[in-house]
Every structure is written in C-alpha cells, then in structure tokens.
Structure 1
Amino acid sequence: MYRLMIVDDEPLTREYLKRYFQSCGGDWEVAAEAMDGSEAWELLQSRPVDVVITDIKMPVMNGLDLCKLVSERYPHMKLVILSGYDEFSFAREAIQYGVHDYLLKPIVKENLDETVRRIAADLDKARHEDLALRTLRSLSNDTTSQVIKHFLKAAVAENELEIKTLYPLMYRLNLSLIEAEGAVMMLDLDMHHLLHSSVPVSDVALFRFILHQVAGEIVQQEGLGTAFLDEHQQVCCLIAGDNEEEIRQRSSVLHEKTGNFMRQNTNWTVTSALGSAEDDVLKMHQSYYQARRAMYCRLLAGGDRLYVYAEQQPLLRRVGELEQSVASIQSVLLDGTELAPSLTVGGLVDLMEKRDGESIFRYGVLVIQHLAEIRQLQLRDSQQGEAAQLALAKLKNAVLSHPEDFSKEKAVSLLVEIVNLFRAANRVPDDEVRNEKSIVEQAKDYICSHYSEPLSLAHIAEKVGVSTAYLSNLFHKQMNESYIKFLTRVRMEQAARLLKLNPPEKVYDVARKVGYISVKHFSHVFKQYYGTPPGEYANPKS
C-alpha cells in the first residue's frame, strides 16, 4: 500500500482526489490532508508518506516552498504539483526540487491515471531495490569481498553486462575501491620450473591457486588493495595509493613477499607486472592490459622480477612484435584456415634470440596460454582447461626428449601441433548501423541528465540501444575523448558550480551530488582537474 498526502486550499480539489484514490482499490491510502504548505510540513514530521500531491498557489506557505523542504529532508518522497495554465513557469521551477510530475487544473482523469501508474511503478522499483540492498548489507564480509572481486574481474575484462549489474551495487553499498589512484598488478608463476621438475602438468592449477591465496593474504595484511582472478584465472591485484610512487612501492612489497614465500615453500619463482595508475575504477581495464603487455618482458629479459609498464619502453618495442605474432596465431584459431599455422608460428620462431629447449618451452607456454584464452571465450566450460593441459604436456615431453637446440623447422612443427590442439570456430556478430551523430548525442544527453548516478559504458549503451564496443569507438571518433573523460568533465563542471554558490555547498554534499562515493576520491579528481582542492576553490584565499 502507498501512503499519500493531499495539499490544496480548495476543498473540492481535495475531495475529488480523495475519492479518486479510494476508487483505486487497496493500493492507495490518503494518510493526511492539508490546506497549505505549512500545515503539510508539520503533519509530515509525524506522518511520513510515499507521495505528496500539492497545489502551487496557497496561503501561508506555497507549494514551491513545500517541495523545497520535502526534497531536502525527504529526498525519496515523490512529489506531484497541481498548477493552472498561468502557473506553468512555477511548475518548471519546481522541477529543480525533485518534483516527479505535474498536473494541470482542472484535473483530467486520464492524465491523473498515467501519473499514478508511473509513480506506483517507481515506488515498486524503489522498494524492491531497497529490500535487495538491505539483504546485501546483512551479508558477511566474505560475501561483500566476493562482490568486489567479481566487479574487478568484470571491470578489467570490460564485461559490460556484469559491470552494469555490479557497479550500481558497489555504489549503493558505499564500496569505494580507490581513494585517489589505483593500478592493476598481475602475478604469474614462471613456468620454466615445470620443465626441470617432477611436478605433473595437472598440478599447475594447484600452484596457481596457492599463488592467489598467498597474494590475497599479503594484500589484506599489508592493506595494499584487493586481490582477484581475471577471466583467465590469472592472479591480479588492484593496488591503491595516493600517487604513482606509492603504488609502485606497494607493488614492490607485494612482489617481494609473494615471491619469497613461493620460492621458499614451493620452489616456484614469480614474475609480476604493473600497469598504469588510473583515477577511476572504470578505467582499470587500461592498467590491466598494460600489465599484460609488461608480462611479455620476461620472455626477453627473464622472470622472477617486477616489470613496471612505464619503465619498460625499450623492451615494449620488442613486445609489440611478440604481440603481433601471438595475435596472428590466435587468428588462426578463429578463422580455421589450414595453411596459416605454419606461417604465423614461423613469425614467432623468428623472434627468438635462441632456440634451445628452454626458450622453445617459454614461447610455447606463451602460445598455449593465449590460445587457451580464446578457447575459453568460445566454449565457456572446462574443455579449454583440458586442451591447455594436453598441449602443455606435449610441449614438455617434446622439449625433454630433444633438449638440444631446435632447428627452425622442428620448432615450427612442434608449435603448429600445439595450435592444432586448439583449432575451433568463432563467430562475431555485426553491429547494427545507425546514425552515428545521433547515437553520440543521445549518449551525451543521458550523461548530462544522470551524471549524479553510477554510470558505466554498458549502462549508457543499453539506454541508447547499441553495443558497448560500438559506443566506445563511436564516442572516441565523434568527441575525441572517452566517455569517462566526458563524464568526469560534466561532473567537475557541476561540482564547480555548486561550490561557487553563495553560500557554497559542503564538499561532502557536492561529492555525492556529482556521483562520488568517497570525498577523498572526489577531492583528488577535482584537484587534478582544476589545480586546487574543492575546499579552497569554494573559499579562495584573499
């Protein structure tokens, strides 16, 4: 049942509305009536309702003043105003106070019906969301931790469907993962240990699990950030800090402590890679892909160390060639052509500085890992793990059987066999063609209207009716900036406007009104954007 208050100085209007809602069955209850805004405000202190329907022109306190008070004190309460044709300018002014709808006098029943239907739908949605939120807040800390890890997994993979579900949830649970900046760090076992030990291939997954648990415990104990697994079961950590240098130091601590534990207890060594520092959790996919690139460096300069993307530019030029070769091999898996494997694998073999058994094994592991990722995306089940284990066992046996230097032909033949274990088909649907400018304008309009809410690219793409990837590319093409930069600009401009009011709004209130959970995070972004903290911007020193 929805509780309603009617506020109007005309008895006939109050009586009409009361009879109307009584005819709606048991869904609505007229909990209170008032002749002006002052009386209504007094009643609301003791009789909270779901909806207030109020006239604009009334004695003592008019409807606009009542709406302002209600919006400030009871922001979740729905407001509907009644106005005559000559009062339309007042109705427009009331919109800034969160008025849900307005009705013209004399009231037309069909218009009232439509307004009531919309309000009831909104109230139902709000109640269901509130119930879900209260249920989630009652869950354990472990469950909340799993929500965070699932969100990070989705964020770095740009899984917009899950981001669309989890990001608003994170926002409503006040789960801020970074206060200023954060970067993704990737950790991986150095697989050459497998070549020279009696560890069975099937146990690699076990040691990766141990690596994940160890990294997670160290991250938690040291307060470094959050450990999680990406969609390929690769160990990753979101390292948070106030700046790049602090993030770099924290990453070194994690790498050293994790590596020492694994070396002393399992004989495995660990290589880590750190991506760029970002100021928004929705940009962590950029840091993640840089960490993935930096991880290639161990093929060129050895493992058992931490590679920081920003510090590896000379090596990264060679990494680019490796990426192209691996991408070519992955394309073989996607298009299924028969002649391509030997050509693409040959290109990778040409990049090897030497072709001894250990080098062949390292590069073969790289191929297996990337083909397993493609296979995983195609099958979404355990078959990809079985294919990877079979390929890894074949690679190990072949290298141990012929530990001497490989000829190019022999190396190519072995890696082609590996590729053929993963051959599968893949289909990628085409995006629908629509007016590009119109799509971007719709996206911009939606951002400008909803900047105070948790907005992800997936959510915006759904609203304008296109795919996430298509909207991302289109936004860059039309605007020469990403959607997240545009959103940040809108939020910062609105924040500056609120801070310049007389008197200025409090920084805490401004942060919430422009879509930030954490005041510290908001202040960090604001200072980067305007060059001064929000407090000083609101009250500049004379």
Structure 2
Amino acid sequence: MNKRRVLVVDDETIFRRGLRHLIGTSGLNWEVSAEAKDGLEALEEIGRCRPDLVITDIRMPKLDGIGLQETIRQRYPEIRCFVLSGYNDFHYAQSSLRFGARDYLLKPVDKEELYRVLRQVEKELDERERSASPKPSALAEERGRLLDGLVRGELPHARLGDLRGAGIEFERGVYALVAELDKDSVEPKRYESQAADLFALYIRQFVEESLAGVRSGFVFRRGDSVVALLDAEVSEASRRDIAALAQRIAAKIHREADLTITIGVGGGVHGVEEISKSYGEAKIALLYRLTAGGNRVLLYEDPPRQEPGAARTQLTSRHVLEHSLLEESEDELAERVRGGVEALCGSGASPAVIHEQISRMLLEAYALAADRGLQGDWPEGREIGGALSEALSISSRTELALYCAELMRSLHRRLRSSDEGGSVHAVDRVVRHIEEHYAEPITLGGMAELVYLNASYLSSLFKNRLGRSFVEILTEVRIREASKRLLGSDEKIAAIAYETGFSNIRHFNRVFKAETGRTPKEYRETLRGGRLNV
C-alpha cells in the first residue's frame, strides 16, 4: 500500500526534523514527502508533490499558516490541513476545528495526539475515496467566487447556469446571516494580528457545524465576516426559526469558545437575484451593534428604527477639537475621544446618526491637519476617505471608540512635533507678528488664519497664556510704539497715529488717553517740557 504523504511547514529546521522523525517511526501509513520553511515555499511543494496532509505552524515569515490554510482551501480543497503553534490562545479551537477541515495542536507536540490525528485523517481519506472522488479545486474556487458575487449583487440572471454547475441552488427562498467577532470579548494578548484570521476561520467552521443537518445553505468568509446564505421559505415563521437558530449559535460559541459574536439577519428574499438585498439588510442590522452592544442577534427591521435627532457629540466642534488637541495631553485627548464615542453610541441614536457625527469629527480633525500642512502625514499612510470608510465599517462601539481615539492620538503627536503645533507657539507667533507689523491692519481673524486656528479659540489662548486679550496686547504694542515716537521725534501726532496702526486721529487720542491717562499732546508736552511744535 502506498503511504500517505505529509508536508511539514515550519520556519524552525529542528522542529521539521522532529516531526519527520515522529512520523517516520510511528508505524502508520504516513511519510513526510516534503518540508517547507514558510507558506510560499509550501505552496511550491504542494504543486510538486500534492500531499494528502499539510501540518503547518501559524507564525512564519512571508506567508503565515493562516494565509496558507486559506489558499489551500481555495486551490486544493481535497488536501487536509491542521495547525501547530506554541501559542495556546486558541485551546478552545480543539473542540470544533476537527479533522474534516482543520485541527489545532500545541507545541511541543504530544506524540500520541499526533498519531491519533494521523489515524483519523487517514480514515477520513479512505472513506472519501470509497464514496466519491474529491471535487476539483477549480470548482471550489468558482463556488466561492460565485457566492461572493451573489452578495455583491454582481451576478446577472443569465449566469444562473453557472450557479447550478457549482452546486449553488436554493429551492425555496434565501435568508442572509452575517456573523462577526465581538473583539472586545477577547483579551488583547489573545487577539494578535498574525493570528487574527483564525478567529474568523473558527467562527466559519463553528457556523458550518451548527447548520449541518439543520438548515441547508452555504457558509463562507468575506474579510472578517462570516456569511451564511440559508435556504428557507420566506415567511414570518421562517424568520423566527432562523433568528432562534442564530441565537443558539451565538450562545453555543460563547459557551464553548469563551468569546462572543454578533449576528445580523437580513429579510427573506425569493430568488438568487435578490440575495444582495438580504445581505445588505444583514449588514445594516449588524450596525445596530453600535447602539445595542454585542453578543446578540440583530434582525433587520422594516421600516428602520427612528433616528433621534438630538444625539450629538461636542467633538464635532472645531473649537473643542482644537482645545483638546493643543491643550490636553495625548492620553487625555484619547480618553475624551473614546468616552465621547462610547457616549454617542449609548445615546439611543441610530447608526446613521452616529456615523454622521463620527464623519464630522474626523473631517474637522482632517481640516485642522490640512491647515497646518499635515494632510500628507495624517491619517498615517492613508487618505481621509480610507480612514472614514474604515470607521464606518466598524459595528462594535468599543472598537469604533478605540479606532477614533488612536487616530486622534496620531494627530496629536503630529501637531506637537510641528513647529506650529502647540498653543504657546501660536500665541508667541501672533505677538511677534504684531510687534513687527503693528502699523498694518491687524485683526483677530487674520491672525487666526496666520496660525491656522479658529478665531474664538485663538482669543481664548491669549487669555490663558498671557492673562490679557488679543485686543489688549495689540493696543499695548501700538501705544508703546506711539509713545516712543512722541518722545523721540518731531512728527505730527496725526502721522504717528497712522504709522502705528490707528485708522484716525480721534480714535488714537481716545485710546492713548485710556492707556496712559493723558492725550498724546499732553504726554509729549509733559515729558518734553512743551518745547516741540505740534
């Protein structure tokens, strides 16, 4: 009997050798036919030797184990695959990621557990070969592409034959479900970027297992979401049954995996041409996680819920943003933003109102960055449109609050590192400008534009920084310069008034007396003995 072939993928040579030894001395009908040090090399080996099983580590350079699994699932669905990792964040996965599609074992590998898995995989392969030949990889890839096209609404009626050829048929109607992980239900150390996809893989496997033998349909991933298209009659009774089924799935995954998901359920539709409508409704329903919180099933309602118009956040005010960005510390700003977004989401406002407020806040922040020439640096590495799109795609209030807080943190750092960033710099620059250009027309609005601030906010900065208003500082500088000229020159008082920024002699006389207690003429005559002719 020909031995079953195993491909071992790990970036540690000693571990690959160790697995080769364990499998070679197992006495089982398995042999290591090839090794690879990363996911890209593994794909080359798969194309060359077509193994029956791939054993892969998660954390590897170039292409990690999660990406490798996804590629194998799309291109080579007949190949079994399971994961090994030294990180035990996913111990719960062993209860569900079983041998038909994935398994998850921890390093160091227990020899008997490895042999048990090999026996089980061989049994499944033998049964599959007896019952039917494996489906070609091209068919699985085409099915995934067609399902994605259905939910996007990009599959024309003329291509219904393509759906049947890929085995995609719905006898009655269709309900779309969209499930997403509540990231705030996972400890940060358990949700690491390189292994994040495993959560979506696990949720998909869990949903598939929960639906097996209960509801016919198709389950697939779209990014971080898991989509289920269920075959069911379009009726209120079906809607209730599907909602109850979704509740059981959510409760079970919470109980067995110690994490929570939220599921959006769209309305029923009668044909595949309308699947995108049900999917869109499920996504809309999922947005209400912003206001209702996670760990629940959210049904699309028609008509939509009322939108309270009073829900607002002060963070959409440019004055408030400027104050927080320039006056508060980075941590204070982040906490203000996080708390403001959390409060907005908890206010009873609809997702549409929340998104409108979030968009206004981020656009105001972008305007502040652009005023200072920082639009190329913030949002970091993205256009503002991309940052907005990402914010509006988040349906978890905690995740949205943290996302906005981190964006504002990065802007705060950019402003503080800029020459014109801080409140002290802004006030000092205006004062310097006044001292150098006091003879020219100077207004608060003009100075605010000079330092890229709101006029009312600049006025408040003057009082906070110097204890006096902008007008008081401007007047002080002009009167000081006028006094010097009155004592040190023979110019006429009217000329001095114009040359120190006063628009007319009458206004100059009034202001000068208010500041010094004397008229310009009295000031000159008193201090110079009345010798000069005016």
Interval containing the TM-score (normalised by the shorter chain): 0.3 to 0.5
Normalised by the length of structure 1, the TM-score is 0.35
- Greater relative contact order (Cα < 8 A, sep 6+): 1
